Amino acid sequence: MATTESSSVELTGSSAGYGVDNPAPVIEPPRARTARTPKSTRTNFELYGWLFMRLSGIVLVVLVIGHLLIQLVLDGGVSKIGFAFVAGRWASPFWMAWDLIMLWLAMLHGANGLRTIINDYAERDGTRFWLKMLLWTATVFTILLGTLVIFTFDPNIR
């Protein structure tokens, strides 16, 4: 039992060399709590994030389905969309507010969803960090650009 030579276990291909004197490498327990384990944060961030996903989801159902109906179905469908159509809608503060809220909620909802997916799937801390940086950069850029366009839109641009 003491050495591999005398043991009755039949050694297979990749086993050569391992024995009591030279054991195969030990795989670190993946979930052990060590000094490097992140400390608890004691904030309600995840709670608010979770609530935000539910509430923004409900509002987005109305906003997005309304948006799709107006843009693609009612009144001639997609063929009616043009510069004039957009300019006409954004002349009204109601549609500006609709589009602004939809932009913000959809971007934050999507970004937070992707954040949780990155948290779930990224295995190394570095990967997780850079994926999140990419995500936040893209989100902030899109939100700012969209907001800028909605507020500074000039129908006489031509």
Partner 1 sequence: MSTATLDKQEPKDATGSAAVELITATFRIRRFNPEVSAEASWEDFQVEIDPKERVLDALHKIKWELDGTLTFRRSCAHGICGSDAMRINGRNRLACKTLIKDISPEKPITVEAIKGMTVLKDLVVDMEPFFQAYRDVMPFLITSGNEPTRERLQTAEDRERFDDTTKCILCAACTSSCPVFWNDGQYFGPAAIVNAHRFIFDSRDEGGEQRLEILNDKDGVWRCRTTFNCTDACPRGIEVTKAIQEVKRALITRRF
**8 or 152: CB nearest partner 1:** 8
The C-alpha atoms of residue 62 and residue 59 are separated, in whole angstroms, by: 6
The reply on whether position 121 binds partner 1 by CB under 8 A is yes
The residue from 18, 83, 129, 136 that contacts partner 1 (CB under 8 A) is 18
SS3 (DSSP) at 136: helix
Helix ranges, 19-121 (H): 45-68, 83-90, 93-121
The reply on whether position 5 binds partner 1 by CB under 8 A is no
Which amino acid belongs to residue 41? Answer: T
The reply on whether position 126 binds partner 1 by CB under 8 A is no
Rounded to 10 deg, the angle between the 125-152 and 93-121 helix axes is 180
**121 or 141: CB nearest partner 1:** 121
The residue from 25, 76, 82, 93 that contacts partner 1 (CB under 8 A) is 25
**15 or 137: CB nearest partner 1:** 15
Answer yes or no: are the C-beta atoms of 145 and 151 closer than 8 Å.
Answer: no
Answer yes or no: are the C-beta atoms of 5 and 22 closer than 8 Å.
Answer: no
Residues engaged in binding partner 1 (CB under 8 A): 4, 9, 11-12, 14-15, 18-20, 23-33, 37-38, 40-42, 44-47, 49-51, 116, 119-121, 123
